Structure 1
Amino acid sequence: MQWIEISIVCERVATDEVTTLFDDYADNGIIEEDIDDQPNLIKLTLYAAPSLDTDMIKIDLEKRLTEANIDIKSIEAHILDESTWLNSWQQYIEPTEILPNIVIKPAWQDYDNVDNKTIIEIDSDISFGTGSHETTKTCAELLKDYSVSMELDKVTCLDIGTGTGVLLLVAAQLGIKHLVGIDIEEYAANQAKINCANNKVHAEIICGDLDCDFNGKANLILANLTVDPLKILLPQIGRKLEDNGILIISGIIDDRYDEIMPYINKHWHIIEERVAGPWHTFALEKL
């Protein structure tokens, strides 16, 4: 099988907007790479299905970027075979200590566990969700802090946009017994099921829509997404959260901070905000 590799170099502050524009094509996630000696720039790479036309994808993305007034430094597209594709993104994923003594280890990487840390192993054919991103780590930190005072055997933790299920697996290690993950993408839901099974964690994984397909309520809700889906989901999430529950959201980049704040302030009280790099993570409660 072959893949179309598309790489764009743009301003770092435009990361969120560019990755949103990629949504139609980024079936296998997006790689983010720093540019040497240019900290304000970032290289974003996605892999699209080979059934599409390389030139047409490039033209379409250029058009979208222009309409969104996003300045890019370069855009390139070419064909890769599957083995090259796998090596292209897996090489960037390393074991990550997401919380003290809890390590996320990609299945294709070795890890010398000399300190006897808890290992969560993630196998993925999609290039995200291995716990290294700032938003994932800060979500995990807040999850740990706010779950510690709860009766964990009675807590339901819901992870919206669960991806590879990393945050659910962290929640399991923190002692939370009732775990639910939901994702609109079938491949992501299937990957979360595989990773939960491989780590011997029981979780309900739903492929579907939050409003229609999750009928219960949760004490802890995680939504590590981006600004656009958060704007849509924040009112829905309020109906799914227990009255004394905690919502943890992330995926909010500096450049879109002011845009999301009215949606947060309309329905939510900010308990805590944490910043890691250009990313903001919030612990919220209902007004």
Structure 2
Amino acid sequence: MQWIEISIVCERVATDEVTTLFDDYTDNGIIEEDVEDQPNLIKLTMYADPSLDMDMIKADLEKRLTEDNIKIISIDTDILDESTWLNSWQQYIEPTEILPNIVIKPAWQEYDNADNKTIIEIDSDISFGTGSHETTRTCAELLKVYSEYMNLDKVTCLDIGTGTGILLLVAAHLGIKKLVGIDIEEYAANQAKINCENNQIRAEIICGDLDTDFNEIAQLIVANLTVDPLKILLPQIGRKLDDQGILIISGIIDDRYDEIMPYIKKDWHIIEERVAGSWHTFALKKR
């Protein structure tokens, strides 16, 4: 199999907007790379199905970026075979200590566990969530903080947009017994199931819609998404969260901070906010 590779170099503040545009063409995740000696720039790379028209994708992206007044430095395209595609992104993924003594290890990487840390092994053929992103780390940090105040035998932890299931696996190692992950993408739900099984963690993984396919009440919900889905999902999440429960949200970049705040303040109390790089993560309670 082959893949279409499209790389865009743009201003870092436009990351959220560009990745949102990429979502129309790929379910395979996005690589983010720093640009040497250019801290305000970032290189974003996606991989699309080769049955699509590469020139059409490039033209459409250029048009929409221009319409949205997003300045790009370059946009490049290529065709890669399967082995080159795998090597092109797996090389960037390294073991990450997501919390003290808890390490996320990609299945294809070696790790010298001389300090006897807890290892969570993540395999991912088509989804790149492996714990290194600022939003994943800060969500894990807040999971740890607020789970310590709960009776973990009676807590349901719901991970919305679970992806590779990393945050569910972290929650399990924090002592939470009932774990549920939901994702609208079948490939992501399947990947989360595989990773839970490989780490011998019992979790319910749902491929479906939050509003109709999760019919319980959770005491702890985490939603590491982006601004657009959060704007849609926040009212639904309120109906799925216990009145005394905690919601952790992330995926909010500096440039869209003011845009999401009215949606948060309408129905939620902000308990805590953490900032890592350009990203904001919140712990919220219902009003």
Q: TM-score, normalised by structure 1?
A: 0.99
Counterpart-to-counterpart distance in 2, 1:251 and 1:279 = 6
Residue aligning to 1:120:
120
Residue aligning to 1:41:
41
Deviation per CA, 1:256-281: give whole Å up to 9, x if none.
Answer: 00000000000000000000000000
Residue aligning to 1:200:
200
Residue aligning to 2:242:
242
Partner-residue secondary structure (3-state), 2:252: strand
Tell me which moved more, 121-130 or 76-85: 121-130
Residue aligning to 2:156:
156
Residue aligning to 2:69:
69
The Cα RMSD (Å) is: 0.6
Counterpart-to-counterpart distance in 1, 2:89 and 2:195 = 19
Partner-residue secondary structure (3-state), 1:31: strand
Q: Percent identity?
A: 86
Partner-residue secondary structure (3-state), 1:70: coil
Counterpart-to-counterpart distance in 2, 1:37 and 1:129 = 26
Residue aligning to 1:286:
286
Q: Which amino acid letter does the alignment assign opposite residue 247 of structure 2?
A: L
Q: Is the 8 A contact 1:90 1:127 kept in 2?
A: no
Residue aligning to 1:276:
276
1:1-287 pair list within 5 angstroms? 1-287=1-287
Partner-residue secondary structure (3-state), 1:39: strand
Counterpart-to-counterpart distance in 2, 1:199 and 1:53 = 39
Residue 27 of structure 1: CA displacement? 1.5
Tell me which moved more, 33-42 or 59-68: 59-68
Tell me which moved more, 207-216 or 122-131: 122-131
Counterpart-to-counterpart distance in 1, 2:158 and 2:256 = 25
Q: Is the 8 A contact 1:31 1:127 kept in 2?
A: no
Q: Is the 8 A contact 1:6 1:75 kept in 2?
A: yes
Residue 127 of structure 1: CA displacement? 4.2
Q: Which amino acid letter does the alignment assign opposite residue 87 of structure 1?
A: N
Segments of 4+ in structure 1 off by > 6 A? none
Deviation per CA, 1:103-145: give whole Å up to 9, x if none.
Answer: 0000000000000000000000124210000000000000000
Q: Is the 8 A contact 1:157 1:176 kept in 2?
A: yes
Q: Is the 8 A contact 1:89 1:127 kept in 2?
A: no
Residue 60 of structure 1: CA displacement? 1.1
Q: Which consecutive unaligned segments of at least 5 residues does structure 1 have?
A: none
